[in-house]
């Protein structure tokens, strides 16, 4: 089995403004240490996929930062524009098929945090076994809370593994639930978070495209025939002009019946907002967490990230305080969902580009 990692590096990371900027979105910043989430993803999978079998799919504008973070040997594929996960995965599959028709393909978003790399690799190995039988395998995460921000997978019959690390048939994919439904999923025990990580053989995923997205499949194949030729660049542009923006879940996974889910025994966080810091940084006695120097008095449950100097908090709670370069964000935790309209206001400032 030739296992290749495909790392999806799209995403604008607006929810981490001002630390993330248009030119350096979340997946390229070091939120939890010295390395970016993309670098950590690369390191984590390297025991199974050496650099030569890692493929990074990214918007073209990030070439420089990817080269800087991953080194000159990193294999990069650039999307002309973002079209969600299905086209990116199809594109990667065509590249891999060209190199190695027998390839097995592990799909990893670049911006997830997994601290127990060994447990993660065990789950990947189990998934890879199932992939050899032609299954489309998704990785599910045992839910820690009734989170309404994730999709869920309802597990069916167990088909491999046991106890903490097992694979199941998928009974159903579930959209992001209401709070009540999320609590019911948590209580039921046979629901897991849909992590957005997958493993399958290249021929299996392309067959699924052929079956469920025939128009996109035709475009992908047309592109695939140009890989390694002079026509490749024009074909890529044509592919992205024609393809809809669609997720792999919606395009394929929810429709296919050869779908399995590996329920991993590893921690996982998709680092969806600043609130993720509170889950991974040791809090002080008042449940404040900080990247950088924080002095807090009569303040609690704050999340601080600062690239310079000192942040002093006095008599405040439940705030997110971020200092990054020339911008400072002070937000109530419950207001973080409104970062997009805030950034629209910032974009309306004179000389706004320096802030975005």
Site for a second copy in 15-34 (CB under 8 A): 18
Nearer to a second copy, 48 or 346 (CB): 346
Q: Is 331 in the site for a second copy (CB under 8 A)?
A: yes
Nearer to a second copy, 276 or 324 (CB): 324
Per-residue tokens: 166:
């097992």
Query: Least separation, in Å, of the C-beta of 282 and a second copy?
Result: 18
- Cα distance between residue 234 and residue 218, in whole Å: 16
Per-residue tokens: 52:
């030569």
- Cα distance between residue 156 and residue 279, in whole Å: 30
Q: Is 334 in the site for a second copy (CB under 8 A)?
A: yes
Q: Is 326 in the site for a second copy (CB under 8 A)?
A: yes
Q: Is 34 exposed, middle or buried (0-12, 13-18, 19+ CB in 10 A)?
A: exposed
Query: Least separation, in Å, of the C-beta of 321 and a second copy?
Result: 5
Site for a second copy in 336-355 (CB under 8 A): 336, 338-339, 341-342, 345-346, 349, 355
Nearer to a second copy, 81 or 293 (CB): 293
**CB neighbour burial string for 66-84, b if at least 16 within 10 angstroms, e if fewer:** beebbeeebbbbbbeeebb
Per-residue tokens: 18:
């001002």
- Angle of helix 214-224 versus helix 232-242 axis, rounded to 10: 170
Nearer to a second copy, 16 or 95 (CB): 16
- Cα distance between residue 167 and residue 195, in whole Å: 14
Q: Is 313 in the site for a second copy (CB under 8 A)?
A: yes
The residues facing 263 across adjacent strands are: 140, 166
Site for a second copy in 273-302 (CB under 8 A): 293, 295, 297-298
- Cα distance between residue 333 and residue 92, in whole Å: 37
Query: Least separation, in Å, of the C-beta of 67 and a second copy?
Result: 29
Contact residues for a second copy, defined by CB under 8 A: 18, 293, 295, 297-298, 306, 308-316, 319, 321, 323, 325-332, 334-336, 338-339, 341-342, 345-346, 349, 355
């Amino acid at each position: 089995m030739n296992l290749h990692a495909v790392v999806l590096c799209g995403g604008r990371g607006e929810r981490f403004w001002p630390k993330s900027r248009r030119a350096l979105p979340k997946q390229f910043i070091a939120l939890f240490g010295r390395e970016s989430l993309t670098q950590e993803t690369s390191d984590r999978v390297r025991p199974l996929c050496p650099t030569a079998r890692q493929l990074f799919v990214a918007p073209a504008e990030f070439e420089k930062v990817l080269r800087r973070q991953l080194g000159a040997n990193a294999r990069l594929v650039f999307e002309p524009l973002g079209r969600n996960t299905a086209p990116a995965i199809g594109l990667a599959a065509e590249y891999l098929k060209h190199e190695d028709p027998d390839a097995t393909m592990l799909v990893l978003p670049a911006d997830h945090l997994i601290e127990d790399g060994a447990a993660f690799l065990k789950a990947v190995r189990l998934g890879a076994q199932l992939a050899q039988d032609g299954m489309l395998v998704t990785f599910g995460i045992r839910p820690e809370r009734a989170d309404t921000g994730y999709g869920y997978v309802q597990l069916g019959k167990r088909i491999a593994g046991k106890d903490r690390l097992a694979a199941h048939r998928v009974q159903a994919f579930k959209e992001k639930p209401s709070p009540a439904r999320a609590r019911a999923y948590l209580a039921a025990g046979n629901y897991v978070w849909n992590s957005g990580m997958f493993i399958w053989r290249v021929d299996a995923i392309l067959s699924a495209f052929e079956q469920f997205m025939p128009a996109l499949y035709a475009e992908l194949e047309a592109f695939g025939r140009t890989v390694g030729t002079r026509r490749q660049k024009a074909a890529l542009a044509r592919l992205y002009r024609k393809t809809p923006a669609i997720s792999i879940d919606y395009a394929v996974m929810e429709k296919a019946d050869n779908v399995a889910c590996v329920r991993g025994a590893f921690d996982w966080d998709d680092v969806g907002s600043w609130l993720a810091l509170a889950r991974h940084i040791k809090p002080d006695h008042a449940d404040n967490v900080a990247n950088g120097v924080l002095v807090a008095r009569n303040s609690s449950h704050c999340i601080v990230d600062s690239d310079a100097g000192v942040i002093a908090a006095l008599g405040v709670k439940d705030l997110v305080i971020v200092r990054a370069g020339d911008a400072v964000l002070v937000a109530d935790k419950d207001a973080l969902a409104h970062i997009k309209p805030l950034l629209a206001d910032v974009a309306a400032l004179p000389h706004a580009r320096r802030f975005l």
